[in-house]
Structure 1
């Protein structure tokens, strides 16, 4: 299955931000976010909106190098946010990024953290899923329901697989080479999505680099469960032992893989 379209990714940046805004309404934004240690929910919203505005600047100015990101890394000024302030600001941030991407188009030439064939398409997809997962962070912290369109969840898992298997990742994170070896394969199977989405992934660690493919194959360890649970598991938002998943085979390999390739 192909990735979601550029315009769908742009739309998801806005839609996921608006859904996050609804999580904030009436909530105590000083609630700690367990999946983002040191942040509370209000700071999480400021980080996400600041990142969206930063990416909008990258795209709009056709930046040749990344602008400063201090404004959404140092969150100490945002310890006591109010929903009526930060919620609308977040939605405006998402709209600014979606608009900048729409004006620039998927093939705009601008800085990206890694070589990609289409910078606009990269930023649209990256922030669609960055926004999705930070909505998960807030929802889990506040105890509200977190539901995802299956097609969006599948695309987020594909992106995670693609970024994690880039050859340069082994140079940036040399400890990941320790994962490689014979009889080291993992199979993820989403059990609650239409068959046409092909929501099964085979992670192959038996070669010289991390590799993956969409496939239904036997593996050293298999994980079966709802696609949202697989998404939360691979992004380390929900521990394996609390996720609604079934693990068959070498659970130690699963734990080692998740720990080594964590990002986002």
Structure 2
């Protein structure tokens, strides 16, 4: 903008020219283009920090529970495994009353999962969900408003089963259950997965290769259930894992190249040291 002098001595300010306005707009647009990726990256890092912190909180709760219960972890399942009615089998009661989603939550000031009504499940600002977790629109877990809450974290179900996690029930290995794991039996706690962020996408079988396989039901052992939505510098996606020594680490994948990518591969081999405690 320029100031012009008239013959009467008065000063008159001239408006910006079109070219000047376009230059200013271009500069502002350039600055925004430079800033937006940085802002997006900052938000991503913030979500990663929140996810790590929530897993750390779960780790502290697991440690406190084990200390108060002679070194034993809680049961890996929850109420979803046995339905809405109070169960009468020993296995069902273990799921219903001693699932980790119920017994650990109060240690962090949260209501046990089984005490939430379908319309009052906790949301994304709670310890139950990774802030980056998203439900697919067609997911059975997104039928609002009846059920807004969901779990994005899964406890490694291999911590309770002595054999292949998905062997047919009633057959050898199908229901071998040291139901409450004695942490003293864990050979390499810094390596064994305790809690991980899981897929909640029905197109991928809720983390497995069939509908309702494991993800969304509080525990999982299918390695492809691992959700990778946290990017490291360079753009590589991965996820966070809580291990049995209670440390949290980022990992790109839990899938191993030697495993067969076939529909009948449903759980890690029994001798896998990352999934089985002993």
**TM-score, normalization by structure 2:** 0.26
Q: Which has the higher helix share?
A: 1
Larger of the two Rg values belongs to structure: 2
TM-score (norm 1): 0.27
